[in-house]
């Protein structure tokens, strides 16, 4: 049996298209049996807090079309990656501090904060994607 790929995903953008693509990579990788770790930081992190009222902005026409469709959104895809494929989704510890995000503020499928140094160490030898 072939060894699973290791996929490390850095998500720093708060744009709809980039969040959606990161979620698609995470969910497909995770349900395919790959080891997936997601690092949420900067402008992306606020879109993973409970009760986020403001949706991410679309960058262009594709994002606007995506908003009109009823397909699975980025949150649902990330949740599926975590629950069905055991993807590890972590907020950046620095971003958590800067934004003042508490442990109960994040979606329940988001794990404990992780520092960038640890993420990079764990990502050694993995495919690394940035969105």
pLDDT score recorded for residue 55: 87
Global confidence as pTM? 0.93
For the chain, what's the residue count? Answer: 131
Domain positions in the chain are 6-130
The C-alpha angle with vertex 38 and arms to 99 and 60, in degrees rounded to 5, equals: 75
Residue 122: the pLDDT is 96
pLDDT at residue 2, as a whole number: 60
Q: Given 3.40.50.1460, 3.40.50.970, 3.60.15.10, 3.40.1260.10, which CATH number is that of 6-130?
A: 3.40.1260.10
φ, ψ at 7 (rounded to 5°): -120, 125
Q: Tokens standing for 131?
A: 């969105």
Least Cα distance to 14 among 62, 68, 70, 54 occurs for 54
What is the DSSP secondary structure assignment for residue 112, as one 8-state letter? S
Residue 4 has a pLDDT of: 80
Residue 28, pLDDT score: 97
| Joined tokens for residue 114 | 């992780």
3 state SS for 14-62 = CCHHHHHHHHHHHHHHHHCCCEEEEEECHHHHHHHECCCCCCCCCCCHH
Mean pLDDT by groups of 10 residues along the chain of 131 residues: 84 97 98 97 95 85 87 94 96 97 92 97 96 97
pLDDT for the residue numbered 43: 96
């Amino acid at each position: 049996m072939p060894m699973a790929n290791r996929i490390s995903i850095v998500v720093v953008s708060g744009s709809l298209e980039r969040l959606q693509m990161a979620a698609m990579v995470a969910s497909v990788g995770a349900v395919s049996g790959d080891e997936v770790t997601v690092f949420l930081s900067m402008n992306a992190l606020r879109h993973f807090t409970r009760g986020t009222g403001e949706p991410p902005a679309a960058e262009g026409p594709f994002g606007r079309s995506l908003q009109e469709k009823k397909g699975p959104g980025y949150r649902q895809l990330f949740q599926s990656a975590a629950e069905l494929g055991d993807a590890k989704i972590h907020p950046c510890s620095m971003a958590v501090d800067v934004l003042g995000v508490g442990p109960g503020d994040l979606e329940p499928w988001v794990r404990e904060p992780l520092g960038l140094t640890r993420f990079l160490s764990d990502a050694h030898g993995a495919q690394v994607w940035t969105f």
